[in-house]
Amino acid sequence: MKYRSMKNVDKKVSEVGFGVWSVATPWWGVKDETLAKKLLRSAYEDYGITFFDTADVYGQGKGETLLAEALDGLLDKVVIATKFGYDIFAKRGDRHGGHSELPQYWDKESIRKSCEASLKRLNIETIDVYQLHNARMEAIISDEVMETLERLKEEGKIRSYGVALGPDIGWREEGLATIQKQKMDMAQIINNLIEQDPARDLIKAAELAGTSLIARVPHASGLLDGSYDPDKHFDKSDHRNHRPIKWMQAGVQAVRDWSFIYKGTDRTIGQAAILYSLASSAIKSVLPNITSEANLKEFAEASEKTPFTAEELKKIEELWLNGQQEALKQPFSNSKSKPTPVAVKA
């Protein structure tokens, strides 16, 4: 495993991280808590993964307690990122938006309450990376939010902060505001070969600003790790249910175009997809969806594989600019050009 430094974080992070959503939420298939803890522990002990990304909303706190229990005795050796903003105990009838989102609150009382609750569940004194979860522009540019995060930093409750952009693709303006206007320490973005925009712009901005980026969804819902079967129908419990069939079909064709990044090399397609994000120095860690011991091993070992050459990166860019980006627009069935407004507590 190779490691990189994140802004205002005192420990280095592994190039391949562990997104706890894959073992703490029902969409990803790991429903066995014993297996979940085994994967989290093995990630550190067997493969050197030191960056773990969770959120208070994952399983209504389960993602944080699960991580704390799995890494008992090791928490001071790893970098823990978590998120805040959602009312994690809201009733289903309070949800809104295309992904059935919970209400979000960004006032200082709610932020402090969320931070204290996360610290308790994680069993730590300081959160290494604290992220606004799927924040809209009004929260990102809020003076109250920034002042509260700075106070938490001064009090030693958090080390660094930023925004986890989403939930789906897009969020260019929000990302640029995070990096350029607010000059936050970090941002978490969606980035992969099949969804290169707006990540391309955000990566350039982060490289100039010295902002640390975390990349998620490197495998584009299974298209880039060999797990997607176009002949299967995915029901509502599967995360790919939100992807239009036409987009998935276009993705299958795109994968054929990318064959040069793994055929005849020391990389699998899944490893090549991770290395694509790591080609940028601004991206400090990549979060693949880890659901088994086999893909934990494969993805963790991506860090040691041959990095992309300048020629490979040039060919990738040419393919994207010469037509693939048009075929792969509107990746989610419920994507909107503008984020849905959310409730903000007065």
Are 305 and 267 spatial neighbours (Cβ–Cβ below 8 Å)? yes
Is 130 marked active-site? no
Pick from 20, 49, 81: nearest CA to 303: 49
Sign (positive or negative) of CA dihedral 304, 10, 51, 273: negative
| Catalytic hit among 47, 58, 86, 105 | 58
Are 198 and 170 spatial neighbours (Cβ–Cβ below 8 Å)? yes
How, if at all, do strands 283-287 and 3-4 pair?
unpaired
Pick from 30, 18, 29, 87: nearest CA to 342: 87
C-alpha Rg value of the chain to the nearest Å: 19
- SS3 call for 160: strand
Tokens, residue 231: 């002949």
Rounded to whole angstroms, the Cα distance separating 278 from 271 reads: 11
Rounded to whole angstroms, the Cα distance separating 234 from 260 reads: 29
Are 188 and 162 spatial neighbours (Cβ–Cβ below 8 Å)? yes
Pick from 326, 169, 194: nearest CA to 256: 194
Are 15 and 1 spatial neighbours (Cβ–Cβ below 8 Å)? yes
Q: Could you tell me the strand order of the sheet in which 79-84 lies?
A: 18-19, 51-53, 79-84, 127-133, 158-164, 186-190, 212-216, 283-287
- SS3 call for 192: strand
Are 87 and 60 spatial neighbours (Cβ–Cβ below 8 Å)? no
Residues marked active site are found at 58
